[in-house]
Structure 1
Amino acid sequence: MADAMQLCYDCFPGDLLLSADGVDFGVAWGWVPVLDFALAMNDIADTLQTSRRAVFEFTETDGGIAFTRRGDRVKIEPTYVDASVEVMVDEVRGAAHDMLREVRQEIEAAHPELLDSRRYRALVDRYPSSA
């Protein structure tokens, strides 16, 4: 069985469909570690509850996404597109939870044996509302 690092980075690569307020931040690189990204977005949503800034950095590229909180709004600035958008803090949290729920549903439908994996459960059960 894969360890936590393999589950996050090696087992579920793909593309990301991301947009906010009509701005497309998606990436079609084919290798983005989708489970890791979904987990990281939930970590970032939590961080933004008490901090002003959080950053996600993609592996194997210089691309990233900066999240800067200003009051009850968050500015989202990817480095790989010439655009940014501001959304409500609660929208970031809701979108992160929705993303993880959808990623889990897809992964668990394709690999139901993961539901019995303690390593997988330890990763995803940090966010029980994503189940």
Structure 2
Amino acid sequence: MIDLGYSLSRRFPDPPQTDYRTADVRTLRYDLFCGDVYVADTDKDRELSTAWGWVPVLDFAWALCDIVERLDRDPRGSRSATAVHAELDFTESTDRMLFERRFGWVDITADWVPLEEAPLTVSHAVLRREARDFLHDLIADLVDLNEGLGDNPVVWGLQSRFPRV
């Protein structure tokens, strides 16, 4: 089983003058909601996590949903032996989270993890479901914390683009 999570940083708060109703895509993705994220394999008690405090968590959730869809472009789907690669790069550093799909399984690793450590392996269908649930749960939390965010058309579009599975 996979678990996706986040924590918001107290060191990098959003600017107090932010109007969440009208924030554009760039602002929502890169300038707000900084913290840390993790991807955990609960069966093996292992995780990939950041500890930097500045990762834009909404961008992470959004990018993860994009990546899961990109990994599914092969028309043979889970029958395909061809490896499909994708990466999530963190904008303020050279670190990346790496994804490789073969058949119906996705290996997840990161640049900051020692090479000898095995990747986290998860079913593509489970990763899709969990990534979308994470995105919707994160948006719900952020809407509760930030007045006006629920009225932002970018957020509406994001939720409709990646509905819960």
**Cross-structure match for 2:134:** 99
Task: Say if 2:132 and 2:163, in contact at 8 Å, map to a contact too.
Answer: no
The one-character-per-residue Cα deviations of 1:102-122 (angstroms, maximum 9, x if unpaired) are 211110111241121223323
- Displacement of 1:60: 1.0
Q: CA deviation at 1:28?
A: 1.7
| Superposition TM-score, scaled by structure 1 size | 0.89
Kindly report the root-mean-square deviation, in angstroms, between the aligned alpha carbons of the 2 structures.
1.6
- How high is the sequence identity, in percent, across the aligned residues? 33
Task: Extract unaligned runs of 5+ from structure 1.
Answer: none
Tell me the residue number matched to 1:7. Answer: 28
> How many residue pairs were aligned?
130
- Name the structure where helix makes up a greater proportion of residues: 1
Matching residue within 16, 22, 26 for 2:45: 22
In the other structure, the counterpart of 2:71 is 48
CA radius of gyration, larger in = 2
1:15-56 Cα offsets, whole Å, 9 max, x none, are 113212422101121100100100111111111112511110
Q: Tell me the TM-score normalized by structure 2.
A: 0.72
| Code of the aligned partner of 2:71 | L
Match 2:55 to one of 8, 12, 32: 32
Structure 2: how far apart are the matches of 1:44 and 1:101? 16
The structure whose RCO (Cα within 8 Å, separation 6+) is larger is 2
Residue in structure 2 matched with residue 90 of structure 1 by the alignment = 125
Instruction: Look up the SS of the partner of 2:54 in the other structure.
Output: strand
Give the structure 1 partner of residue 149 of structure 2: 114
Shift of 1:128: 2.6
